[in-house]
Amino acid sequence: MNRPRPVCALAAGLMFFLTAARSQTSLLAPTPTSSVSGQFVISFVPASNPYFRRPDAGTNSDYLRLEPALLTVSAERFKSALWSEIGLAAGSPWGGKIFLALHPARSLDEPVYIAAQPFLRNWNYRLEIPDLISRDRCARALSAVLLLEIANRNTPVSGRSAAVPEWLTDGLARQILESEASKVILTAPGKMMDGILQNRLNEKRRGIDPLVHARRVLQNSPALTFEQLSWPSDAQQNGDDGGVYLASAQLFVHNLLAVENAPADLRTFLAQLPAYENWQAAFFDAFHEHFLRPLDVEKWWSLQVVAFGVRDPGPLWTPGASRDRLNAALAVPVNVRATSNALPSYAEITLQSVIKDFTPPQRAEILDARLHDLELVQLRLTPELAAIADGYCQVLKDFLGERRKHGPRRQMGAGTALKQLDALDLRRQEIETRLSLAAMPAELNPGPP
C-alpha cells in the first residue's frame, strides 16, 4: 500500500494522519481511564474479540493484548524512556493530551491511526489502536505520537502540525524496546497457571546490548544509506526486507544521540519541524555544528557503519560486573498477577521455571532469547564465570535440540535439563562467593573455613 509522502506515516499497518479524527470511528467510552500524569486518557468499548482465541496470537509474545489500565501504565513508562533518550527531565511539563481510543481488533495487522487536533491553545492527539497488536507496532505508535506532541508544543493551533521523519520514530522505538531498562509495554496475560497466578513474558529482553538484534541483522546485510533511511518504503517498515531498515534506523539514532550535544540538538530539531516545509532543512539547521549538508551526514554515517561492523566486544568485565551481567542474562522477566483484577508487577523467574511452567512454543522463544544473551556476555566475563556461562549455553542448546557443528543433533529431556541447570546454579554461587571474598580487604576476609 502506497502512502502520500507529505504525510508522515508508519508502515506495518501504522498510518499517520495529521487531520481531525473521523467522527465515524469515535470510540469514546463514558468512563475513560487517565494515566498518573493526566496526559494519557484511554477509552475502550469492550466486545468479544475472536482474535484472542487464535493460537498464533495466544502463544506469540510479539502480540500484545491491551487493556485500559495496562495501557495507561505502558504509555507513561514508554514516555519516560523516550524522554530519557532525548534528554528531557522526568517531571517536565507536557503540552497536549493524548487520547488513546482502544477498540477490538478486526485483524492481526489492523492500522493504527494518529491525528493531531487543535484545541483552544494547545494541540491534542488521538490514537486509535486495536487491543491486539504486535509489540513493534505498538512501540512505534507511542513513539510517533509522543514525538509529535513534543514537536508541536510551541506551535500555535492556527499553524501547521509537524511531520516527524520515520527514521526517528522507528529508530527510537527500536532503541527503547531493545534497551536494558525498557520494561515498558505491558500485556494482559492469557490464563491462570495451575489456578495460582498469571505470568506473561514481559518482553524479549536482550538486556546486555541494545544493538544486539541490529548487530545480527547488519552482519549479513549492508546498512541503508542516510538517503535510503529518509524515504523508507512500506515493505521496509513492515520488516519485509529482513529488518534491515529497522536495524539501520536504530543504529543511526543510537549513534546520533552519542554525538556532542545531540539530545539538545534533537529537541531543537523537533521544535523547529512545524516551521519548515521539509524535515531535512530543520535537521541541518539544528545539527549545523556537525552536518552542513547531506554529504556530511553520509560520510559520518559511513564511518559509524564501518566501526560498528569491526567493533570487538571490548575488555573483560570486573568480577563484580561479570557476576551482575551473568545474573541478568539468566533472569527471565515476567509480569505477575496475584488475581485476575490486579495490575501486573514486574518479577524475574529462573530458567527452570520456564521449562516447568511454560508451553513448548513459549519456552522455546524465551530460552532462545536467554541463549543469545548468554553467548553475548560470555565474551566479556571473567574466565571462571565465562566457563559457567558456556555450561548454561550447552544445556539450553541441547534442550532446544540445536544441531552442533560436530556430532549428531541432541535433544535433552526436561528432567535432565533441570538437574544440569540446578548443578550449574550451585557452581555459579560457589564461584561468586569466592570472587566476592577475594575482592574484600584482607582484614575483612575471614579466609577459607
pLDDT tens-digit map of 136-175? 899 999 999 999 999 999 888 888 899 999 999 999 999 9
| Distance (Å) of CA 250 to CA 63, 80, 115 | 21, 18, 25
What is the CB neighbour count within 10 angstroms for residue 263? 16
Residue 417, classed as helix, strand or coil, is helix
Residues 6+ positions from 20 with CB-CB distance below 8 Å = 115, 117
Sheet holding 332-337, edge to edge: 198-201, 332-337, 345-349
pLDDT in tens, 192-223: 443 333 444 444 444 457 888 888 888 878 89
Domain residue spans of the chain: 14-49+58-178+211-310, 319-327+350-439
Q: pTM to 2 decimals?
A: 0.66
CA distances (Å), origin 127, targets 40, 82, 111, 349: 10, 17, 11, 34
Cell numbers that stand for 3 in this block: 502512502
Q: Which residues of 174-207 are buried (b: 16+ CB within 10 A; e: fewer)?
A: bbbbbbeebbbbbbbbbeeeeeebbbbbbbbbbb
pLDDT of residue 410: 58
Q: Kindly list the distances between the CA atom of residue 150 and the CA atoms of 94, 139, 169, 185, in Å, as whole numbers in the listed order.
A: 8, 17, 12, 21
Report the alpha-carbon angle 124-1-5, nearest 5.
55
DSSP SS3 for 128: strand
Question: Which pLDDT value is given to residue 332?
Answer: 87
Inter-residue contact 113 to 17 (CB < 8 Å) = yes
Counts of helices then strands in the chain (DSSP H, E): 16, 11
Residues of the chain with pLDDT under 50: 1-29, 181, 191-207, 403-408, 442-445, 448-449
> Which pLDDT value is given to residue 305?
87
Contact 252, 308 (CB under 8 A): no
Q: Which residues lie closer than 8 Å to 299 by C-beta, 6 or more apart? A: none
